[in-house]
Every structure is written in C-alpha cells, then in structure tokens.
Structure 1
C-alpha cells in the first residue's frame, strides 16, 4: 500500500483539503491501495509516507521529506492528478 501525506504549515486546513482532493483524484483514476493522510510540516517525518505533497512556498522547508510533489496551485485538481500519475507511474 502506498502512503501519501499532504503537509502544510499548520497541518489543518490546506493539507486536509489536499488530502480530500488526492482521494478524489485517486478514485477518478481508479487507483486503489493508497492511504492518504495529512500533517503539519513540523510533525512530518520521512518514514511516515512514500509520497509527500506540499505547496511551492514550502518546498525549501520540506526538503527533508523524500519523494515530494510540489504544487504550484495547491487546490488545482488537474495539476494534482498529473503529478500523482507521474509519481505513481500510471
């Protein structure tokens, strides 16, 4: 099972919205076997997920996390879909 974690500064609003969008996109793509969660950037550790999603403005702060998806437009589902497909190889 692939673990995907959305991270933001506080771990509340925007990361939760990205989690919901990621679940929606995965369902649209017919991809199962992924667990999507969210967290604050400060609490996220490299072992908590296989793929991390964050906003462009947090890219430098998230450099300790592996396999990053950096979103230019945090709530753009089309961008998220393209980048998830690239990371998941589908």
Structure 2
C-alpha cells in the first residue's frame, strides 16, 4: 500500500502527518510506504490513498483517482488512526 501525506508546500505539516501515519501503521501492524509531498505533485504521484487537511481535500477530490481523507490535527494519533481505519473499511 502506498500512502501520501499532502500539504501545500510538501515540507512542514505533511512531514508531521507522515510521521503520525507511520506510527499508527506500526501500531496496527500494517506495512506500507508513506511519503509526503505538496498538492501539485500529489496530483501526478501514484498512490493508493491520500491524507491531507480538510481544505486541501476539497481541492484534491476530483483531480486524483484515489480516495482523499481529511485529518485536522496531524499529531493526534487517534484521529489519524480513525482516518486510516475509514480508508481500510472502504477499500
């Protein structure tokens, strides 16, 4: 499974989200490749799912061919886990 963590510029907040996703996946025993990137590169990057802010979710939906899930608090592991679980349940 390939996951993208996306923010506006692909450096700060997407790296924090990536680290949270990595922690949650490890806790869940799920092996996946997690990368962080900016919104423009996300549109051309192959992946299975994208996690991003609610604002960027609206911009990405319809322009990418994969599900996009919002996360408001990137360091809130419970919220990140909930978003990942929603994706897994709808896969």
TM-score, scaled relative to structure 1: 0.86
Task: Judging by fraction of residues, say which structure has more helix.
Answer: 2
The number of equivalent residue pairs is: 87
TM-score, scaled relative to structure 2: 0.85
Task: Judging by fraction of residues, say which structure has more strand.
Answer: 1
Structure 1 unaligned segments of length 5 or more: list them: none
C-alpha distance in structure 1 between counterparts of 2:51 and 2:71, whole Å: 7
| Displacement of 1:74 | 2.9
Task: Give per-residue Cα distances to partners, 1:19-75, cap 9 Å, x unaligned.
Answer: 11100000011112x100010001112652100000012122112132111113233
After the TM superposition, which segments of 4 or more aligned residues of structure 1 sit over 3 Å from their partners? none
Structure 2 unaligned segments of length 5 or more: list them: none
| Displacement of 1:18 | 0.6
1:60 aligns with 2:70: no
C-alpha distance in structure 2 between counterparts of 1:14 and 1:48, whole Å: 21
